[in-house]
A = this chain, B = another copy of it.
Amino acid sequence: MKSLILAGGSGTRLFPLSRKQFPKQFIKIIKNTSLFQKTIQRALHFSKPDEIYIVTNKDHYFLVKDQLGEINADAKIIVEPAAKNTLPAIYLGIREIVKDSGRSTVAIFPSDHLVTMSTSMTEAFSDAEPLAEKYLIIFGVKPTSPHTGYGYIKPGKKIGSGFRVAEFVEKPDHNTAQKYVSKGYFWNSGIFLVGSDLFFAECRRYAKDVVAAFDQPPKEAYDLEEVYGRVPSISIDYGIMEKTTKAVVIPLATAWSDVGNFNAIYSVLEKNDDQNAIIGKHVGINSTDNLIISERLVTTADIHDMTIIETMDAILVCPRSSGEKVKEIVRILSAEKDDRVNRHTTVHRPWGSYTILEDGGTFRIKRVVVRPQHRLSLQMHHHRSEHWVVISGTAKVTIGNQEYLVKQGESTFVPVKVKHRLENPDTLPLEIIEVQMGDPLTEDDITRYDDDFDRIG
C-alpha cells in the first residue's frame, strides 16, 4: 500500500505557536514530536519508506526534510508550486505514484491531525483495502462529542464493515451536531483509501478542469508551475467525494482530533493535579484547568480555564473557550503587515536555521546553525559587515580569495562588499553567533553568486 501525506497546509489558527512559514503540522506539541512526524510514523505501519510520498509546497520543503531527518525517516517529497487545496495535491501525488509503480492502492493522510495509532486502525485499513478498487473509501470516526467544528458523514446501506456514504455535512450547529451523534453519523477524518484507477476515473467524471490542467497536451518540457497556474483550488471533499456515487465510509475506532484550536491541544495533553496542561516552566497560585505553553517562566494567580501561549516574540492570553478568536488577531496583525504572523524568531533554511537574538536597528545578532556537510550560498552584502564567532563545531569560511577553518572559540570577520561563504565541513552541526552591522540593515541586502539550493537571482 502506498501512503500519500498532505503537508502543504498553512493555517495560523494556533498563532503564536503556528506562523505562515511554520504551520500547525510542524509544531512539536506532544512529547517533542510534530503532528507531521507522527503522521509519517503512522504511515510506516502501512507502507515501506520508499512507498511514502509527501506533497508539500516550496516554503515548507526544508522543514519537511529537517523533520524527516529528526525521526530518521525517508520519503519522496513532491513540491507544489502553489497551494491549491487538497484535490490538486492528491492528483499530483497519485500521478507520481503511478508513474513510479503503476496501478496502486493509496492511503491519503492529512499531516495536521492527531490520530492515535491502534490495532483497530490496522483492522479498519484491512477491511477497507479489498473495497478500494470499487469504492472511494473515507474513514469515519465515531464522535465522542457533538463537535461543531468538524464535518459529519451520514452512513447509508451497509457494505462490508462500512457503509455507503448517504451524505456529507459541514460544521453543524450544536443542536444539529447532537442529532447527528445520536443518529450514528461519523466525523470526517480526512483519511482516504483509494485505488488509483478508480480515483482517476472519478476525477475525469467530476473534476474535468483538474484533469485538464494536469494532462493537457504537454509542451516540450512538463511545466508544473504552468499546471498550477491553471488548476482550480478545490478540496477532494467538494470536488469528488460529495459528487461520486462510490463513496464508502469505514469506521475508525481510534482517538482523533484535528487540533484546530488551543482547546483541542489542551484536551490531548497530559494534565497535572490541578488539571493544567503545561509545556514549559509554570508557577501557579490557585490556577486550574489551564493550557500553558511557554519558552520562559509563566506565573499565574487565580487563573482558570485559560490559554496562555508564550513564544520568543509574541504572547496569547485568552479563555480556553475563545480559541476561535485567534484568527481575528492574526487578521489584524496581517493587516498591519506584522511579520510575526509569517515567521518565528527561528527561521528554517535549506542549510539549517537561524534565530534572531536581538535586532538593534543598526546591528542584529543571530545564532546560526549549519547542518553537517551543508553550506550557505556564496554571497555578498552591500551595506553590512558580519562578525562570526564559532560556538560549536568547525566552520570552513571563504572570505574574498581566502579559504580557511575557524574552530570552536575562534572568530572571523566579513567586511562590507566582500564575497563570502559559510560551510560546515564536519559531521556535527556548526553553531555560530553572527553580529551583523550596517545601515540600512535589511534581510534582502544579499547578492548570491553560487547556491546549492538554486536561490540565485
Pick the contact of A300 from B317, B340, B413 — CB < 8 Å? B317
In the complex the two chains form, is A315's CB within 8 Å of B328's CB? no
Q: Within 8 Å of chain B (Cβ to Cβ): is A285?
A: yes
Please indicate the chain B residues that have their CB under 8 angstroms from the CB of A319 in the complex.
301-303
Interface residues of A in 321-347 (CB under 8 A from B): 322, 325-326, 328-329, 332-333, 338, 340
With contacts A391-B360, A413-B411 taken as known, whether A301 is within 8 angstroms of B322 at the C-beta atoms is yes
Q: Within 8 Å of chain B (Cβ to Cβ): is A272?
A: no
- A262 to B: closest C-beta gap in Å: 11
In the complex the two chains form, is A328's CB within 8 Å of B301's CB? yes
With contacts A285-B329, A301-B318 taken as known, whether A435 is within 8 angstroms of B437 at the C-beta atoms is no
Q: Within 8 Å of chain B (Cβ to Cβ): is A221?
A: no
In the complex the two chains form, is B301's CB within 8 Å of A315's CB? no
Please indicate the chain B residues that have their CB under 8 angstroms from the CB of A367 in the complex.
358, 360
In the complex the two chains form, is B283's CB within 8 Å of A332's CB? yes
Please indicate the chain B residues that have their CB under 8 angstroms from the CB of A298 in the complex.
314-315, 317
Q: Within 8 Å of chain B (Cβ to Cβ): is A210?
A: no
- A15 to B: closest C-beta gap in Å: 8
Q: Within 8 Å of chain B (Cβ to Cβ): is A308?
A: yes
In the complex the two chains form, is A318's CB within 8 Å of B297's CB? no
Measured in the bound complex, the distance between the Cα atoms of B15 and A297 in whole Å is 12
Please indicate the chain B residues that have their CB under 8 angstroms from the CB of A325 in the complex.
285-286, 301-302
Give the A interface residue count (CB, 8 A): 52
Measured in the bound complex, the distance between the Cα atoms of B317 and A317 in whole Å is 8
With contacts A317-B303, A322-B302, A329-B299 taken as known, whether A437 is within 8 angstroms of B409 at the C-beta atoms is yes
Pick the contact of A302 from B294, B318, B360 — CB < 8 Å? B318
Q: Within 8 Å of chain B (Cβ to Cβ): is A62?
A: no
Please indicate the chain B residues that have their CB under 8 angstroms from the CB of A329 in the complex.
283, 285, 299, 301
Measured in the bound complex, the distance between the Cα atoms of B317 and A294 in whole Å is 13
Q: Within 8 Å of chain B (Cβ to Cβ): is A389?
A: yes
Measured in the bound complex, the distance between the Cα atoms of B283 and A16 in whole Å is 12
Q: Within 8 Å of chain B (Cβ to Cβ): is A134?
A: no
Q: Within 8 Å of chain B (Cβ to Cβ): is A296?
A: yes
Q: Apart from A297-B313, A301-B316, what are 17 other A-B pairs with CB-CB below 8 Å? A: A283-B329, A285-B328, A297-B338, A298-B315, A299-B314, A300-B318, A301-B328, A302-B319, A357-B357, A360-B367, A362-B391, A363-B391, A363-B392, A387-B389, A391-B437, A411-B435, A433-B435
22 CB-based A-B contacts, threshold 8 Å: A285-B325, A285-B332, A296-B314, A297-B340, A299-B314, A299-B315, A299-B317, A300-B317, A300-B318, A301-B318, A301-B326, A302-B319, A303-B319, A306-B317, A360-B391, A362-B392, A363-B391, A363-B392, A387-B389, A411-B413, A411-B435, A433-B435
